Every structure is written in structure tokens, then in C-alpha cells.
Amino acid sequence: MAARLALHAGLWGIAFSLLAGALGRPLFAAALVACGQALLLAVSSAKERYLREPLVYADLALFSQAFRFPRLYLPYFGLARAAAVAALCIAFVAAGLWLEPPSALPRALWLLGLAPAALLLAAGSALARADLTAADTERFGIAPAMWLHALAERAPLPVLATPFAGLRLRGEKRPHIVAVQSESFFDARRLDARVPRDVLANLDRLAQSGERGRLEVPVWGAYTMRTEFAFLSGVDGAALGVHRFNPYRRLARAGIATLASALRAHGYRTLCLHPYPAQFFGRDRVFPLLGFDQFVDLEGFAGAPRAGPYVADAAVAERIRAALAAAREPLFVFAITMENHGPLHLEGRDELAVYLRHLRNADAMLGALCADLEQRGEGVLCFYGDHVPGLPAVYRAHGYEDPRTDYLLWKAGDPRPAGVDARIERLGLRLLERAGLAPAPA
């Protein structure tokens, strides 16, 4: 409690002193501080409705993306609400400057409050430092938790022991390996018995000769990069500390051993396909450091057919098949699809119907890829969902609370059916086992 009070007093005290000193209007400065807190609460509340997680410091780095890629962000807050908030802010600032005349006191006088506020902030930070990575909204409040996460992010990066560091693979055969992170893929039949049973007909059929189960992922409804990093690195999010919220922001940019780098070290060419701008989540900077020889983004899908606003899963499947056909060496393809990305309510009022339409296409992609590998007589496929879709109203209506997605591991000509639930951090190693490349003993 002492840390919470000191952090709040320090942060808001600094904000008030700076604003009062700059504007010379203490009442208006206090009102701005209060409105700033209210805005944080509103944004955090909107995020919790969809993603079951409050606003965190790492989200600040994504605000610029909200302007560059508004379709992925603003509809969740509400376009009308965002416009109303912007208009209200403008009106509020204009009214504050007009209604309160400048104070007769020297502006520098208000800056005297900076010193005690800074001391309170330092004291609160010291009290919380012993358990910094647990500094969340529930314990400290939104702004203090963001401050503590900012401090933690600037600390030396954790030393991570990934299962792919120094990995030696077993066996001499090197089959092609395809991993597909399918956007919002999960078995929607768990929602309601009325969901058509054939919506995942290919998944059901292929599970008879492959390994299928529910997949524990670190997110609900968004933040694809967390699942993505967990799959590629094999590292549990708890080991990342504050970097678990956005591992691509700092941690991954330092370089880390991954599934891709391990396969590349054993003669594989590594290719990532993602039909969206490469700058999103900073993938253009991160993926070369994670072991990929080539990263094909939206520019590489020029003219590709779309299903809704995004490149169709069928187009991504065709690009994978073309890469396999052209390969003259063992190939690892990691594809990150976009077709089923929300906001789904922009495509129709019945969000579940929209989702099921795209889910059928994801299932068709799965069937097409396995048919291609079957025809080639070799190859391994890993197909999994990054998170459940953002359908809060649907979940409330059905009382659905399971954050797990689904996965399939399948190898051409190797029928070994199994029903096993898994964690995303272990899926890469299980993929190697399915490929016959299980790590050799050290």
C-alpha cells in the first residue's frame, strides 16, 4: 500500500507541477491530470473487454501503430467513441485556457513541487523494486504499473536458456517442415453444439493420422507476437519478465536461438511468409535475428486474392506450395496468416458467422497443404492457432472461458494418431520429434 500511494503521488505530482509551470493555470493543470487518468482508465477498460488484460507499458509502443494501421486498433475502442474523445479533449483544452486566467504567481513557483514528487516516486519505485515484474495494475494502478514496467524494461536483459541453443538434431533425413500460425484458429464447435460439425472437416480427418490437441497460448484475442515468439524460442513467458508483454520490442532484437536458427544451422533454408506490412510489430528488424533467411511480407503478395480485407489463406497456401516446389534444399517455412484477423464485426453483424466462414478457409488451407506434402511423399506440417478470436459478445452469450486454441502435427506417410494437449513453448520441439529430428543427447 505504501508503494502504491507513493507512486501515485509522485507521478501525478510531477505531471501537475510540469503542467502548472508550463501553463501558469493550476486549476486547469489539475483538471488535465485528472482527465489523463480518466483516459488511461477508459482505454484500459476497452482493452480488458476484448483482451482480458489491462493497459501495460508495452502498449505505448503500439500507439503509433494505431495510426499507421487504424483498422486493427480503433474499431475496438469504437470509432465514434474515439472521435468523441478527441473532440472533447480539444474543447476541454480550449475551455480551460479561456476560463482560467494565468496565475499571478511566477510559473517557476509551481515547479518547486517537482522535488518532493520525484522523491515520492523514487521511494515508491524502491519499495516495489523487489517484485518488479509483478508490478501490475491490480497492485499499483495503471500509471504506476506502467512506470515500473518502464524501469524494468530498461534493466539488463534476462539471460535466456532456449531449448534450441546449441541443438544437435538426430537422423540424416531432412524433410521439408511447414509451420502455419493460423490467425485466430480454434475449434469453434466448443462454443455451441449448433456450430456445423463439418467446419473443420480436414482437421478431423487429418487428426486420424496425426497429433491433435488443445494448445495453451499466452494471450486471449490478440498480441500474436507473444505466441509467435513462444513457438519460435521455446521459452516460457514467465522467464521473460516484463518483456513477456512484447518480446519483439527489446528482447528479440538482441538475438536469440530459435527453431529457425537451429534448423538453419543444420542445412535448412528458412523462410517466413506473412501477408501484412513487415514493419508491424517490428518483424522486419526481428526476424533476421531469429534465424530467417528470407521474410516475405505483404509486398510479396501483390495481386493475391483476398477473403474479406486481408490476403486469403488460400493464397498463402499456394505460396507455400510454390516454395516447396522450388526448393533444392531442406526448407523450413513459417507462415503467419491474416485472413481471420479482426475486427470481425466490420465484416458483418453476425460475428460468429463471419468467423466460421474464415475458419472453413483455414481448414481448407490445412487440407491443401497436407495433400501437397502427401503427393510429394515427404514433409511435416505444424498447424496451430495464435489465440482465440476477439468475440467478447459471443463468449459472454455462451459462457465460454477457455483461452486455448488447437494444433495439429502431421507427417506425410507416417500415420501416428494421438490426442495430446500441449503448451506453445513445447510445440517446436514436438515438431522436430514428429519430423524424426528429435534432439540428440548432449
Same domain (yes/no): 140, 181: no
For residue 311, the SS3 value is: strand
Residue 102 is predicted with a pLDDT of 83
Same domain (yes/no): 111, 211: no
pLDDT tens, the chain, 442 aa long: 788 899 999 999 999 899 988 888 888 888 888 888 888 888 888 888 888 899 999 988 777 776 666 666 666 556 666 677 677 777 777 777 777 888 878 888 888 889 999 998 988 888 886 555 645 778 888 999 999 999 888 888 888 889 999 888 887 789 999 999 999 999 999 999 899 999 999 999 999 999 999 999 999 999 999 999 999 999 999 899 889 999 999 999 988 999 999 999 999 999 999 999 998 989 999 999 999 999 999 999 999 999 999 999 999 999 999 999 999 999 999 999 999 998 888 898 899 999 999 999 999 999 999 999 999 999 999 999 999 999 999 999 999 999 999 999 999 999 999 999 999 999 999 999 999 997 754 4
Same domain (yes/no): 109, 149: yes
Query: Does residue 441 lie within any of the structural domains?
Result: no
Contact 261, 284 (CB under 8 A): no
**Residue 418: beta bridge partners?**
211
What pTM was estimated for this model as a whole? 0.91
Query: Does residue 125 lie within any of the structural domains?
Result: yes
The Cα 328–Cα 385 span in angstroms is 29
Q: How many domains does the chain have?
A: 2
Query: Does residue 159 lie within any of the structural domains?
Result: no
Same domain (yes/no): 183, 71: no
Same domain (yes/no): 302, 349: yes
Same domain (yes/no): 93, 215: no
CB environment 256-265: b (16+ within 10 A), e (fewer)? bbbbbbbbbe
Final residue of a structural domain among 103, 119, 153: 153
For residue 63, give every residue at least 6 positions away whose Cβ sits within 8 Å of its Cβ, in sequence order, or none.
none
Query: Does residue 270 lie within any of the structural domains?
Result: yes
Same domain (yes/no): 404, 280: yes
Same domain (yes/no): 404, 298: yes
Query: Does residue 407 lie within any of the structural domains?
Result: yes
Same domain (yes/no): 194, 66: no
Query: Does residue 442 lie within any of the structural domains?
Result: no
Query: What residue type is 38 in one-letter code?
Result: A
Q: Which of 11, 13, 15, 23 is nearest to 107 (CA)?
A: 23
Query: Does residue 418 lie within any of the structural domains?
Result: yes
Same domain (yes/no): 145, 210: no
Q: In what helix (H) or strand (E) does residue 151 lie, and over which residues does it extend?
A: helix 142-153
Same domain (yes/no): 119, 209: no
**Residue 334: beta bridge partners?**
179, 272
Residue 103 is predicted with a pLDDT of 81
CATH number of the domain enclosing 303: 3.40.720.10
Same domain (yes/no): 51, 186: no
Domain coverage including residue 273: 177-434
Query: What residue type is 427 in one-letter code?
Result: L
Residue 300 is predicted with a pLDDT of 96
Query: Does residue 358 lie within any of the structural domains?
Result: yes
Residue 72 is predicted with a pLDDT of 66
